[in-house]
């Protein structure tokens, strides 16, 4: 019975946090690479980002090239403070189930069936999850100001200050 309840709780949590990490409500939407007006490099260190603040014009489409120079797995996620708080539950579950293991990801466990067709695949359009030394890019169109932040939601990182502000004018 506990196994069923734990599986149901995990599936519900994953469903809720997947919605929280999804593109809608993150001040914009995935952008068309053909519409990119500029490219910005973001470097993740252990518990801080460089730069710490980003500014965009409303309607601007940008390419964010993100590189993890830290010693730990880090996330780059665009959202509101409430979205980050909701998404942290999924990230904690990924740690609890051994998907995030300090300095690397267990990609096989990411595919694990959590029930109801849910997995721990981290494939949100507004987010990147990178191991040390990895880099990736995200193309995003910033439509409007939503009190946005970019943050790392690996457990404890956001609370330690690994976040930055986003201005959309």
Give one word for 14, left, alpha or beta, with left for phi > 0 and alpha for psi -120 to 50.
alpha
- Here the tokens at position 71 are 């010693």
100 forms beta bridges with: 105
CB 147 within 8 A of CB 84: no
Distance CA 67, CA 51 (A): 12
25 Rama class: left (phi>0) / alpha (psi -120 to 50) / beta = left
Q: What are the start-end ranges of the E strands in 93-162?
A: 100-101, 104-105, 127-130, 135-142, 148-151
The Cα 94–Cα 152 span in angstroms is 14
| Angle subtended by helix axes 81-96 and 2-21, to nearest 10 | 140
| pLDDT at site 8 | 34
* Two tokens, residue 74: 């880090």
Q: What is the pLDDT of residues 57-100, one digit of tens each?
A: 999 999 999 999 999 999 999 999 999 999 999 899 899 989 99
2-168 classified as CATH 3.10.350.10: no
66, β-bridge pairs: 42, 136
| pLDDT value at residue 18 | 40
What's the rounded mean pLDDT across residues 15-26? 46
pLDDT digits (tens, 9 = 90+) for 101-160: 999 999 998 887 767 777 788 888 999 999 999 999 999 999 988 899 999 999 999 999
Structure confidence by residue, pLDDT tens digits, 21-69: 444 557 899 999 999 999 999 999 999 999 999 999 999 999 999 999 9
């Amino acid at each position: 019975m506990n196994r069923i309840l734990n599986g149901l709780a995990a599936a519900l949590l994953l469903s809720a946090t997947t919605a929280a990490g999804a593109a809608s409500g993150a001040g914009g939407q995935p952008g068309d690479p053909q519409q990119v007006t500029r490219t910005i490099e973001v470097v993740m260190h252990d518990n801080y980002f460089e730069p710490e603040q980003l500014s965009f014009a409303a309607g601007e489409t940008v390419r964010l090239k993100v590189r993890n120079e830290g010693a730990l797995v880090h996330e780059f996620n665009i959202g509101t403070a409430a979205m980050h708080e909701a998404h942290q539950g999924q990230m904690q579950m990924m740690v609890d189930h051994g998907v995030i293991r300090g300095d690397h990801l267990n990609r096989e466990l990411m595919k694990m069936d959590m029930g109801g067709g849910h997995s721990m695949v981290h494939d949100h359009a507004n987010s990147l999850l990178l191991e040390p030394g990895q880099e990736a890019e995200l193309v995003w169109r910033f439509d409007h100001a939503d009190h946005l932040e970019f943050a790392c939601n690996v457990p404890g990182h956001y609370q330690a200050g690994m976040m930055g502000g986003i201005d959309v004018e």
